[in-house]
Amino acid sequence: MLNMLPTKAAGRALPVLASGRPGSAEPFFGSNGHINASSNKDLISQFGALFQAVASGQVTFNQDLNSSVEVAHAPTLAERRSHFIEAYRDRSSNRWAEMGSSIGAVLYETVQREGFMRRFLYRADLQQGNDPRINIRFENVSALVASGPGAFSPQMVRARYLMPPEFYIEANPRVEEKEITRGASDLLDDVFSKAQEQIMVQEDLLWKKMADASVGLANNLTILAGGLTPTNLATFRLQVAQWGLPTENLIMSPYGWSDIVGNASAWGNLFDPVTHYEIVQTGYIGRLLGMGITTDGFRDPLQQVLGSNDVYIVSAPINHGAYTDRGPVEAHPVDSYPQGIPARGWFMFETMSVAITNARSVAKGQRA
């Protein structure tokens, strides 16, 4: 067996490592894996160009995953496609189930690395047979506890722990017969992208909705008049800092970065960048005023969750909240032919609990 990356078919967005900068023969990333830029000001502009290239479909970060889906002897698109179709047609072995398990394992690794919810909340220990139990650092604060992928409620925390309910996040990627017989697309990559949209996006949207619902419980909505500037960012961070909490994370959409590009001279000396591809592809691009900057601007547009004017400041995960899960994404083969649908795929799910345990730890701003 040979580990293979989900890879885009010809005619789709180019991998960013093989893409040139606009109006230049120089690639975005050099042979050393770092962004080609001559200064902080130039680097700010290059990030802006990268956001635009991803949004327009010219380049993609998605196919260069650190983890890989296990595919037998498939170094080319034609061989990957052939292997996928063989597994699709084979009903006498476990090949289809094994492929689904590989996709689920890679999906779990990807979500751990790139997902907002998993990066801004800490993973609480959960033993088999036990109910979720999250220790609380701050009493007499407002919390938000999820009861489903899109359902949550506020609670006043007065005890030393929370016991949030568990729920499922599900994905149902399917491959129809007509997809097998048409074109030369990379079916493995298509399935992985569908599953990622359904799992990671649901997790991140849940966190975003809970963060939005925290407005008014402890911190007010901050209107960033004139866009993001060094002055109003310094004022905005006080929403969290006033409670004695460290302001660790700054989360923004690529539209927010346009304010920084437009005033690169003012931001240049305040920006401590990250330039290596392996880190940049996760959406982490450096620090401003001591806060780590995370964006979803390098994701496929279908996997982006932030509103164009949204900006969040979030404290360290230990102060913000927690989640539990019961291991990797499970994948079970599904045959839809008996239901009159010529398709095969997998039913995927994970078992989770999620809670923002301290509403003081997050503040939302909106560019105006």
- Per residue in 122-181, pLDDT (tens digit) is 999 988 889 999 999 988 999 999 999 989 999 999 888 999 999 999 999 999 999 988
The β-bridge partners of 354 are 323
Is residue 87 over pLDDT 60?
Answer: yes
pLDDT on residue 250: 98
Rounded Cα–Cα distance for residues 85 and 65 (Å): 23
Angle, in degrees to the nearest 10, between helices 95-114 and 187-213? 40
Rounded Cα–Cα distance for residues 317 and 46 (Å): 30
Q: Taking all residues of the chain, what is their mean pLDDT, rounded to a whole number? A: 89
**Cα separations in angstroms, 28 against 43, 49, 64, 98, 326:** 10, 9, 15, 37, 39
Lowest-confidence segment of 9-23, 38-52, 192-206, 350-364 by average pLDDT: 9-23
DSSP state of 121: S
Is residue 71 over pLDDT 80?
Answer: no
Burial of 68 (0-12, 13-18, 19+ CB in 10 A): middle
Number of domains the chain is built from: 1
pLDDT on residue 242: 97
Q: Which of 192, 259, 201 is nearest to 230 (CA)?
A: 259
Is residue 351 over pLDDT 80?
Answer: yes
What is the span of the domain harbouring residue 263?
2-367
Is residue 72 over pLDDT 60?
Answer: no
All residues at 6 or more sequence positions from 263 whose CB lies less than 8 Å from its CB, including other chains: 229
- pLDDT above 90 as % of the chain: 72
All residues at 6 or more sequence positions from 268 whose CB lies less than 8 Å from its CB, including other chains: 39, 40, 41, 44
Is residue 5 over pLDDT 50?
Answer: no
Is residue 69 over pLDDT 80?
Answer: no
Is residue 334 over pLDDT 80?
Answer: yes
All residues at 6 or more sequence positions from 269 whose CB lies less than 8 Å from its CB, including other chains: 40
Higher pLDDT, 81 or 208: 208
pLDDT on residue 75: 59
210-250 pLDDT, tens digit per residue, is 999 999 999 999 999 999 999 999 999 999 999 999 999 99
Mean pLDDT, residues 31-47: 93
Residues in the chain: 368
pLDDT on residue 184: 56
Rounded Cα–Cα distance for residues 158 and 329 (Å): 33
- Region of residue 289 (phi > 0: left; psi between -120 and 50: alpha; otherwise: beta): left
- Residue spans of alpha helices (H) in the chain: 40-55, 77-89, 95-114, 116-120, 177-181, 187-213, 230-236, 238-241, 254-261, 264-268, 277-280, 317-320
pLDDT on residue 12: 64
Provide the greatest CA pair distance for the chain.
65
Higher pLDDT, 254 or 8: 254
251-287 pLDDT, tens digit per residue, is 999 999 999 999 998 998 999 999 999 999 999 999 9
Rounded Cα–Cα distance for residues 266 and 332 (Å): 53
DSSP state of 26: S
CA angle 324, 330, 332 (to 5 degrees): 155
Q: Which of 343, 75, 41 is nearest to 191 (CA)?
A: 343
Rounded Cα–Cα distance for residues 124 and 324 (Å): 5
Q: Is 197 helix (H, G, I), strand (E, B) or coil?
A: helix
